[in-house]
Chain A
Amino acid sequence: GAGVSQSPRYKVAKRGQDVALRCDPISGHVSLFWYQQALGQGPEFLTYFQNEAQLDKSGLPSDRFFAERPEGSVSTLKIQRTQQEDSAVYLCASSLAGGAEQFFGPGTRLTVL
């Protein structure tokens, strides 16, 4: 497709489960960003990749959060031992370069029970 896609669109997890969220960026986009939007808040930055290199992971809230982009294309955000406070919409965005316009996917809504 032409846009950024994310899967799954909705995920329900029991507290303590591990989850993996996938992002397929626009083909050829070098930069990839993950954001987390909690209820009633704006999206907050989690991490940033340029190709396969993770250049900034300062927004990851704890060491339970891990992101990778091994071949510089598809990215996976993994959350281990999910907690209720992890419930949020996780947005992925890609851009041609770090400073260029970011194109967003539809997000994955994660609910932790």
Chain B
Amino acid sequence: ILNVEQSPQSLHVQEGDSTNFTCSFPSSNFYALHWYRWETAKSPEALFVMTLNGDEKKKGRISATLNTKEGYSYLYIKGSQPEDSATYLCAFRGSTLGRLYFGRGTQLTVWP
């Protein structure tokens, strides 16, 4: 069984706060780590695909880091806005087929 864990399960912050969440995954047979943002009633939207140990990626106020040797990735949101409210999913891909192994997600609510 391949375990992908995300924490915290849910998070409530005030507008303007910065926040971060964690994804842990197996450190063996690593191919890629995906982050998705999923708003209710919409399609999951790809944020980052990370492949190299030490990778850091940034998209606007959102950034992510990757440590494949210890099996974790952090997602950071700087200056949270209400429109950042969504579920953030991470997904691990091993070295074989393209199937993704998802965590349960972190549900973020940003209050105005």
Contact = CB atoms under 8 A, between A and B. Distances in A.
A44 B36 contact: no
Interface stretch (A13-21, A35-43, A65-73, A76-84): A35-43
Chain A interface category by residue count: 20 to 34
B4 A101 contact: no
Contacts, number: 60
A33 B98 CA distance: 9
Interface residues of B, number: 24
B46 interface: yes
Given A41-B104, A42-B4, A106-B41, A100 B46 contact: no
Interface of A: 3-4, 31, 33, 35, 40-45, 48, 55-56, 59, 91, 95, 97-107
Given A41-B104, A104-B36, A55 B46 contact: no
A106 B40 CA distance: 9
A100 B98 contact: yes
Contact of B44 (A31, A44, A48, A104): A104
A97 B91 CA distance: 17
Nearest to B6: A42
B4 A48 contact: no
B99 interface: yes
A40 B104 contact: yes
Nearest to B9: A40
B4 to A, nearest CB: 7
B99 A45 contact: yes
10 contacts: A33-B100, A35-B100, A41-B104, A43-B91, A45-B100, A56-B97, A56-B99, A99-B32, A101-B46, A102-B34
